[in-house]
A and B are shown apart, each in its own frame.
Chain A
Amino acid sequence: MKKHLLLFVVTAFGLTLQAQKKFAQLDQELPTPNEYRTASGAPGHHYYQQKADYVMKLSIDDATQKLYGWERITYTNNSPDQLDYLWLQLDQNVFSVNSDSKLIEVEKMEDFKSLGDIRKKQFYYDGGFKIDEIKTASGQKMTYSINKTMLRIDLDQPLLPKASVTFQVKWWYNINDRMAVGGRSGYEYFEKDQNYLYTIAQFFPRMCVYNDVTGWQNKQFLGRGEFTLPFGDYDVQITVPADHIVGATGVCQNYDAILSAEQKKRLEQAKKADSPVIIVTQDEAIKAENAKEKATKTWHYKASNVRDFAFASSRKFIWDAQSVTVGKNKVLCMSYYPKEGNPLWERYSTKLVAHTIKTYSKYTIDYPYPVAISVHSKWIGMEYPMICFNGGRPEADGTYSEQEKYGMWGVIIHEVGHNFFPMIINSDERQWTWMDEGLNTFVQYLTEQEWERGYPSRRGPAYLIADYMRGDKKTISPIMTNSESIFQFGNNAYGKPATALNILRETIMGRELFDYAFKVYCERWKFKHPTPADFFRTMEDASAVDLDWFWRGWFYGTDNVDISIDEVKWFQLNTQNPEVEKAFKKEQDAAKDKFIGDERNKTSIDKTVNEKDASIDDFYAKRNLYTTDALERKEYEEFISKTDIKDLELLNGNKQFYEISFSNVGGLVMPLILEFTFADGSKEVVRVPAEIWRMYEDKVSKVFIFDKAVSSIRLDPFLETADTDLRNNSWPQEAQPTRYQLFKQQQAKENPMQRQKRVDELKKN
């Protein structure tokens, strides 16, 4: 109901000032800035990181599916600290018979319902590293100790700052059957042609990170929190059956000795091509599948400034490549896949690699490595520097569903994208999954949208996270939770941070400020080890937007967004002009609801006494409340003479005032995005920053002034805040149809097949 204001009315907030919680600065949560990491979120003037260089000789025994390895590690201590021992990671030990990963799995008898379940639970696989020896560079045995997935080497002499130590490790392990045991790497056996496809990673004892944040990052690998690794240079020789094709981190040094002349020619063509060129054809791969050569060949790879090394090997591989230019760097994008991956892989994989490298480079840093590789690997998606293993396998008859196609596209973009997070912007995955998965999923969303307009991304848009964020908070972890303790890993570490960044970009900061700050973070921390504080601080430092409330709500908390429009009050200014105001009063009185008795009396009572007898009506009965007398006109003229012309214009401007009260039902503060629809059908969107909640966290009100009357108001009309309840987002209140009701409405209409039937009927006639 519209109300009339006496000139300007001061709105009294029925609110009490609250202790600041949601907008409290993050200082207490973040580590104190220091010489290694500054308060602006950049590496400090004494920032350091260790270096681990590897020389490796590896061989795969295709008959027994064993990997044999020897490595010489040169570890350089760039820290100011003296190190008495070194820690290495033994990830394969997660498959050891006595692995903690199996023991910490919560189980119930329902998990043993079928014989198949029991067989799976009792499946025996002799996994884990078998360490043969650890020696110094000169061949002296070193003392070491294995604690599950961690290996400590005790040094005879402490490793001093700026000094290096070189040592050798010899090991072997049974490669896991990935289809039976699971895992991020392993082999797949193709029964039909009796061949193996190896995707090999985490296959060697790798140095742990030592830095200013964690000291040695030697948290056990329990299976979920991935890897934290120092950068270094790799020189790796891989011996495999002679008919195998190998793809690996880095650049092959001996293609001349490995490839046929024709294949080398095709490879040279691919280096200049902007669409994929086949280097090993399907026919050549099928020939190799059948021949099964017994001899071996050694592939030699080198990679500089990488944090890890992985490779894939199979005689089943088809291989294609194309070039893409990023800045001054020419990147060779490649795919390795068996015929079982076609037709999807030949058509899309390498093009997706190239698109991902280009798009990520636009939003983050220029891709610095010489190659980027996608390897076909049924079911999974897993990332390593320059190489990743991706699923997406059509049916045996070569057909595939739309979901499979989009699934494959999504996984390739995601895993190639991991080259940026965490392979180059090298965060601590074991501690914070979101720093690589969340940031990567966010840029994946941007990349998908540039691949196909309207790409059905399942993560990124705000409204897609609403179902996860609603409800009981006991089953939701804050994003800032250690990787191993997260409820709902996918939604928590991938979906919510990706959504949060998307909201920052679209709604809180705007694209220009966000993109600049995000790039600054990526540039600052490429080839370094960032922490959450470095990210939070850089985003603020480079944008001048105080985001502490946002990090606190979205990253440290579990509240959800549910803002409600509680009440709308409508006011107009009193013009003081008696002609205008009395006409308005008359209009209002006329518009009032009529009592039924009064209405009926109009006809049932022919004439009342005062209508028949003129002497009854006195001054009060005769005066007309809606006409203006001379005194009122004179007073108004006096008022005009004393009032500034601008104020008069304002008074006569027909301004409409709307006082809207909002409640923060969900707890997570967000901007108020309001779409006003006016009586004439036009619309206006007003964006109120989240800081409106800074002192009143539960309830606020705001007055909006327009030149025309508002007919309806919608809160969050573009679904950009992840509001979990849209039923309280409109005035007048609009019933929001449930998803079931939308389905029924849709069902009531003619479906496309029914329409096609009618078209066919028409053609017949």
Chain B
Amino acid sequence: MLPQLFAHNFYFAFAEVEYNELNQRLEVSLSGTAHDFEAAILKEYGYTCKWGKATLTSKDTNIIENYINKHLSFHYDCMSATSNAVETCSTIFHLEGIQFNKDGSFMCFLSTPIQTNSMKNMSAQFDFLMELFPEQQNKLTFIYRDKSHTLSFIKPQSLSIKLEE
């Protein structure tokens, strides 16, 4: 049985996030099922898209960026811009590209600047498509200074990683 033809019973998204120390950015690739993503956009924005068929418009990219920023976020300790106090900073990703593959999957590429040069703790939320599919499970692999940490999300929740002692 394949209950959702193009979903092919996947309900799975994966993000690979690397901290690029040279330019102090988080660089992200996010993959999932294109058909599910289109369904989520329809539900959230009432916007019908057939990304596999058409060239992306600026409206499409704005919506994709907006949706991803709602469903993928990071929090980390950073120094206040005005004082020496430690604050919590969050991420807003910029969509740099998206690929739609023949097998029905897609891959988005995003990045965001990070306002610290030493991340001791980091927390992430990755509830991509979970509002639509109860079975959705997402994984996020965070690569920090050559070490990788994988987080598994089965519900909308924030999970933490201790990066440095």
Contact between chains at A743 and B8 (CB < 8 Å): no
Known A468-B139, A472-B151; judge A740-B27 contact (CB<8 A). yes
The segment from B12-20, B60-68, B79-87, B115-123 that touches chain A is B12-20
Scan residues 703-749 of chain A and give those whose CB is less than 8 A from a CB of chain B.
Answer: 725, 727, 738-741, 743-744, 747
- Bound-state CA distance A561–B18 (Å) is 22
Across the interface, name the chain B residue whose C-beta is closest to A742.
Answer: B29
Contacts of A490 in B (CB 8 A): 8-12
Cβ < 8 Å to B, chain A residues 270-319: none
Other-chain residue from A182, A403, A471 in contact with B100 (beta carbon distance below 8 A): A403
Give the CA-CA distance A410 to B35 in the complex, in Å. 15
B104 A403 Cβ-Cβ under 8 A: yes
Residues B1-58 near A (CB distance < 8 A): 1-6, 8-12, 14, 16, 18, 27-29, 31, 34-35, 43, 50, 52-53
Q: Does A738 lie within 8 Å of B53, measured CB to CB?
A: no
Could you say which residues of chain B place their CB within 8 Å of the CB of A459? 8
Q: How many residues of A contact B (CB 8 A)?
A: 59
Identify the stretch in A47-55, A375-383, A569-577 within 8 Å (CB) of chain B at 4 or more residues. A375-383
B103 contacts A494, CB within 8 Å?
no
Question: What residues of chain A lie closer than 8 Å to B103, measured between beta carbons?
Answer: 403, 406, 456-458
Interfacial chain B residues near A457, Cβ < 8 Å: 103
In the complex, chain A residues whose CB is within 8 Å of the CB of B107: 739, 743
Report if B152 contacts A (CB, 8 A): yes
**Could you tell me if B152 and A475 are in contact, using CB atoms closer than 8 angstroms?**
yes
Q: Which residue of B lies closest to A378 (CB)?
A: B5
Q: In this complex, what residue of A is CB-closest to B50?
A: A401
Residues of B within 8 A of A472 (CB): 150-152
Contact of A468 among B12, B154, B156 (CB under 8 A): B12
Closest to B156 in A: A110
Q: CB distance A740 to B109 under 8 Å? A: yes
In the complex, the chain B residue whose C-beta lies closest to that of A562 is B148
Q: A648: shortest Cβ distance to chain B, in Å? A: 47
Which bucket holds chain B's interface residue count?
35 or more
Q: Residue of A at shortest CB range from B55?
A: A753
Contact B111 A740, beta carbon cutoff 8 Å: yes
- Chain A residues contacting B134 (CB-CB under 8 Å) are 105-106, 111
Contacting residue for B141 out of A182, A471, A741, CB 8 A: A471
Give per-residue flags for B103-146: 1 if the beta carbon is below 8 A from chain A beta carbons, else 0: 11101010100000000000000000001001101010101001
Kindly report which residue of chain B lies nearest to residue A739, judged by CB atoms.
B29
What is the bound-complex CA distance between A110 and B154, given in angstroms? 15
| B-contacting residues, A142-157, CB 8 Å | none
Contact between chains at A471 and B5 (CB < 8 Å): no
A406 touches B102 (CB 8 A): yes
Contact call B28/A740, Cβ cutoff below 8 A: yes
Q: Which of A402, A489, A491 contacts B102 (CB 8 A)?
A: A402
Using Cβ atoms and an 8 Å threshold, which residues of chain A touch B10? 458, 490-491
- Interface residues as binary, A642-666 with B (CB distance below 8 Å gives 1, 0 otherwise): 0000000000000000000000000
Q: How far is the CB of B4 from chain A (nearest CB, A)?
A: 6
Which of these binds chain B: A33-41, A391-399, A532-540, A627-635?
A: A391-399
Minimum Cβ distance to chain B for residue A398 (Å): 12
Q: Which residues of B contact A (CB under 8 A)?
A: 1-6, 8-12, 14, 16, 18, 27-29, 31, 34-35, 43, 50, 52-53, 96-97, 99-105, 107, 109, 111, 131, 134-135, 137, 139, 141, 143, 146, 148, 150-152, 154, 156
Per CB-CB distance, the 4 closest pairs between chain A and chain B, nearest first, are A490-B9, A471-B150, A401-B52, A391-B5
Q: List 12 A-B contacts (CB under 8 A).
A: A105-B134, A114-B43, A380-B5, A381-B2, A383-B1, A395-B53, A401-B53, A458-B8, A458-B105, A459-B8, A471-B139, A743-B109
In addition to A383-B1, A403-B34, A456-B103, 5 A-B residue pairs with Cβ atoms within 8 Å of each other are A381-B2, A471-B139, A488-B12, A743-B29, A747-B97
